[in-house]
Amino acid sequence: MDTETHYNNALDYLYSFVDYSLKHSSELAKADFNLDRMFALMESLGNPQNKYPIIHVAGTKGKGSTSALCAAALQAAGYSVGLYTSPHLQDYVERIRINGTPISHEQLIELVEEIKPHVAKIEKLTTFEITTALAFLAFGKYGVNAAVFEVGLGGRLDATNIVTPKISVITSLSYDHTAVLGNTLTLIAGEKAGIIKDGVPVVSSPQKDESLAVLERVAALKHSALTLVGRDVNFELIESSLEGQTLTVDSGQWTVGNAPRSMVKLQIPLLGNHQIENAATAYTALKVSGIPITDEQIQKGFSQVQWRARFEIARRNPPVIFDSAHNQDSFAKLSETLEIYFPAKKVYLIFGASEDKNIPGMFAELKSKIEKVIVTRADHPRALEVEKIQQLAEQAGVESEAVTPVKSALARALELSSKDGSIVLSAGSMFVTAEVMSAWKILNESSI
C-alpha cells in the first residue's frame, strides 16, 4: 500500500472512535467527559507529556492565535517547539506541528501504529483523546523541548488537562458551546478555570467582571499567582495597517536588576484590535512561564507568526478575506476589524454555521456591513441546513441567497464582488472557511 492509503487508514482508525466534534449539541451535552481515560492512556505510554515544559492555553476566543504566537516566539528562541491545536483547516496533521510544520503523513501513520495496543486496553476513548495522546507522544518522540497545547473544549475535563504546565493561560471568555459549558459567563469561566493547577501561575487576557471573579477565586484556591493583562500589564496599539500591527507592552516587571521600567515594542502580522490583546497575553505568558526567552527573541517570533483564517486577506482588490469567527463575540470583533481596514466597503458574506450557534447574534453584529449573505453548507454533520439559516437571515433583516456546494458559493460571491468591488468574506464556520480556502486555491492554480 502507498503512503496515502496508509494515511487514510490511520484517519479511519481515529474516526472509528466517538468524535464529539461531529455530534449534535444535544449528544455533546450528554457526553461522558472525564480525565481518567487520558491519565490511564498516558500512563501506558510512559507519560511523554512530562518530558518537556508546556504552555497550556484555554479561552473562548483568541486561544489559537495566542498559542501560535507563543510557539513562534519559542521557535525564534531556538527551542524545538510542539504546537497542538484544533480543529484542523484542511489536513488532520495540522493539529500536531513541530517548529511550525505539521507532522508528516508518514509520522502520523507511525504514531497511530504505536498507540494502537495502548488504546486497545482502555474502553470508551474518543477521537480527540487519542489525537491529544498522539501529540504528547509525537513531541516526546521527535525531540521537542518546549510545547504549547491549546484546549479543545472548555478546560476542566478537556483531554489536554492532564498536564502540569509552566503557565496556564486563559484568553477572552464569551458565550460558546453553552450546551456543554453552561449559559452564563460564571459557568463558562468555571470550566475554563479548570486548567489552573496548584501553584502554577496563571495569565489572563482582559475579562468581563463576571468571568474575572471566577478566575480570581479559583486562582486563590489553587495558590496560583494571577496576572491580568490590561490591569497588571499594560499594552497599547501604536500603529495598524494591512501590513500588520505594532504594539507596546509594559516589560517593567521582568526588567533585570535595577534597570528602569520599560516598554517592549512588538510587531505582528495578525490584524484587528483583538490580536493586540492576544499578543500582549502571549508576551506576558512567555515572561511569566519561567521558560528562558528574551524580549528580542519574542519580537522576532511574533513578527514571523503565521496563523491562517484569522482575518486573512487572500486578495486586496477586490478584497477576499478568510476568517474563523463563529460566535457573536467574534463577529463583533470581525465587524470592528472590517471598519478599521475597509471602512467604506460592504461585504458579500459566505456563511454557514453549526446548529448550536447563535446565528441571529452573529448577523446582528455584522448587519451594517452586509450587502448579501451567500448561505452555504459545509460537508459536516453538524452543519445547519441552508433553509434554516435563510429564515434566520430574513428575521435579522439581512438579504440572502442559498448556494451549495461551498465552491459554488465562492464563485457566486466573486461574481457579485466583480461588479461592485465589495469584499468577499468567509466566516461563521471553520469548516465552511476551510472549504472556501481550498476552492480559492484551486481557482487560482487553474488560472495560472
On whether both 267 and 321 belong to a single domain, the answer is no
Q: Are 323 and 331 in contact (CB under 8 A)?
A: no
Q: For the domain that residue 190 is a member of, what is the CATH number?
A: 3.40.1190.10
On whether both 348 and 299 belong to a single domain, the answer is no
On whether both 247 and 332 belong to a single domain, the answer is no
Residues 6+ apart with CB under 8 A from 36: none
Which residue type does 232 have?
Answer: D
pLDDT tens digits for range 313-331: 999 999 999 999 988 989 9
Q: Which of 304, 330, 364 is the last residue of a domain?
A: 304
Q: Which three cell numbers stand for residue 174?
A: 464569551
On whether both 53 and 168 belong to a single domain, the answer is yes
Number of folded domains that form the chain: 2
Q: Are 311 and 270 in contact (CB under 8 A)?
A: yes
Q: Would the pTM of this model clear 0.85, i.e. be above it?
A: yes
Q: Which of 262, 288, 304 is the last residue of a domain?
A: 304
On whether both 122 and 256 belong to a single domain, the answer is yes
On whether both 260 and 317 belong to a single domain, the answer is no
Instruction: Per-residue pLDDT tens, the chain, 448 aa: give them.
Output: 799 999 999 999 999 998 766 655 555 555 567 899 999 999 999 999 999 999 999 999 999 999 999 999 999 999 999 999 999 999 999 999 999 999 999 999 999 999 999 999 999 999 999 999 999 999 999 999 999 999 998 899 999 999 999 999 999 998 765 555 666 899 999 999 999 999 999 999 999 999 999 999 999 999 999 999 999 999 999 999 999 999 999 987 876 556 666 899 999 999 999 999 999 999 999 999 999 999 999 999 999 999 999 999 999 999 999 999 988 989 999 999 999 999 999 999 999 998 878 999 999 999 999 999 999 999 888 889 999 999 999 999 999 999 999 999 999 999 999 999 999 999 999 999 999 999 999 999 877 5
Q: Which domain holds residue 294?
A: 3-304
Q: Which residues pair with 236 in a beta bridge?
A: 248
Q: Which of 270, 304, 338 is the last residue of a domain?
A: 304
* 142 burial level (CB within 10 Å; 0-12, 13-18, 19+): middle
- The per-residue pLDDT for 373 is 98
- The per-residue pLDDT for 29 is 53
What span, in angstroms and rounded, lies between the C-alpha atoms of 144 and 78? Answer: 11
On whether both 151 and 260 belong to a single domain, the answer is yes
> To the nearest 10°, the Cα dihedral for 441, 446, 447, 448?
90
Q: For the domain that residue 333 is a member of, what is the CATH number?
A: 3.90.190.20
On whether both 287 and 324 belong to a single domain, the answer is no
Q: Are 426 and 323 in contact (CB under 8 A)?
A: yes
CA geometry: angle 50, 58, 144, nearest 5 deg: 35
pLDDT tens digits for range 92-123: 999 999 999 999 999 999 999 999 999 999 99
On whether both 316 and 250 belong to a single domain, the answer is no
Residues 6+ apart with CB under 8 A from 256: none
On whether both 176 and 323 belong to a single domain, the answer is no
Q: Which residues pair with 202 in a beta bridge?
A: 168, 226
On whether both 265 and 213 belong to a single domain, the answer is yes
- The per-residue pLDDT for 25 is 55
**Which 3 state secondary structure label does DSSP give 408?**
helix
On whether both 152 and 27 belong to a single domain, the answer is yes
